[in-house]
Amino acid sequence: MNTIPEPTSPEALSRLAEELTDIAERSQRLIADFTENADKLNTGETQQEFMLIGQTFMQYAMKLAENPIQMIEAQADLWAQYSSLWQNTLQRITGNEAAPVATPDAGDRRFKDAEWSNNIIFDYIKQSYLLTSRWLVDQTGHTEGLEPHLAKKVDFFTRQFVDAISPTNFVATNPTVLKETLETRGENLLKGLQNILSDMERGHGQLRISQTDMEAFSVGENIAVTPGQVVFQNELMQLIHYEPTTETQFETPLLIVPPWINKFYILDLRPENSFIKWATDQGHSVYVISWINPTEELRHKDFTSYMMDGPLAALEAIKTDIGVQKVNAIGYCLGGTLLSATLAYAAKKNMDSFASATFFTTLVDFEKAGELSVFVDEDQIQAIERKMRDKGFLDGAEMASTFNSLRSNDLIWSFVVSNYLMGKEPFPFDLLFWNSDSTRLPEAMHSFYLRNMYQKNLMREPGGISMGNVPINLGDIDVPTYFLATKEDHIAPWPGVYQGMKRFGGQSKFVLAASGHIAGVINPPTAEKYSYWTNEQKLDEQEDWLESSVEKPGSWWNDWQSWILSNTGQKVPARIPGKGKLSSIEAAPGSYVKVRS
DSSP string, 395-419: -HHHHHHHHHHTTHIIIIIHHIIII
183/258 same-domain check: no
Is 522 catalytic? The answer is no
Which of 202, 220, 242 is the C-terminal boundary of a domain?
A: 202
196/237 same-domain check: no
72/139 same-domain check: yes
57/198 same-domain check: yes
Q: What is the mean pLDDT of the chain?
A: 91
Which of 143, 168, 202 is the C-terminal boundary of a domain?
A: 202
135/265 same-domain check: no
The CA–CA distances, whole Å, from 359 to 184, 220, 300, 489, 510 equal: 51, 26, 27, 14, 10
pLDDT < 70 positions in the chain: 1-10, 12-20, 22-48
332/297 same-domain check: yes
Segments forming the whole domain that contains residue 445: 228-367+440-479+551-594
pLDDT in tens, 170-205: 999 999 999 999 999 899 999 999 999 898 888 777
Evaluate whether residue 213 is within a structural domain: no
Evaluate whether residue 207 is within a structural domain: no
Is the link from the previous residue into 7 a cis peptide, with omega within 30 of 0? Answer: no
144/287 same-domain check: no
475/338 same-domain check: yes
Q: What is the pLDDT of residue 37?
A: 61
Evaluate whether residue 425 is within a structural domain: no
Evaluate whether residue 414 is within a structural domain: no
Return the closest-CA partner of residue 562 out of 552, 575, 572. Answer: 552
> Residue 565 corresponds to which amino acid?
L
Residue 553 sits at φ, ψ, to 5 deg, of -75, 155
Evaluate whether residue 588 is within a structural domain: yes
Q: What is the pLDDT of residue 517?
A: 95
Catalytic residue among 64, 333, 497, 521: 333
Q: What is the pLDDT of residue 25?
A: 66
Q: What is the pLDDT of residue 145?
A: 77
> Any idea what the CATH number is for the domain that residue 243 is in?
3.40.50
Which of 143, 167, 202 is the C-terminal boundary of a domain?
A: 202
Q: What is the pLDDT of residue 129?
A: 96
Burial 440-462 (b: 16+ CB within 10 A, else e): bbbbbbbbbbbebbbbebebbee
Q: What is the pLDDT of residue 1?
A: 42
Q: Residue 33 class from Cβ within 10 Å (0-12 exposed, 13-18 middle, 19+ buried)?
A: middle
140/240 same-domain check: no
Evaluate whether residue 173 is within a structural domain: yes
336/473 same-domain check: yes
188/253 same-domain check: no
Domains identified in the chain, total number? 2
459/356 same-domain check: yes
Evaluate whether residue 270 is within a structural domain: yes
Q: What is the pLDDT of residue 130?
A: 96
Evaluate whether residue 100 is within a structural domain: yes
Q: What is the pLDDT of residue 534?
A: 97
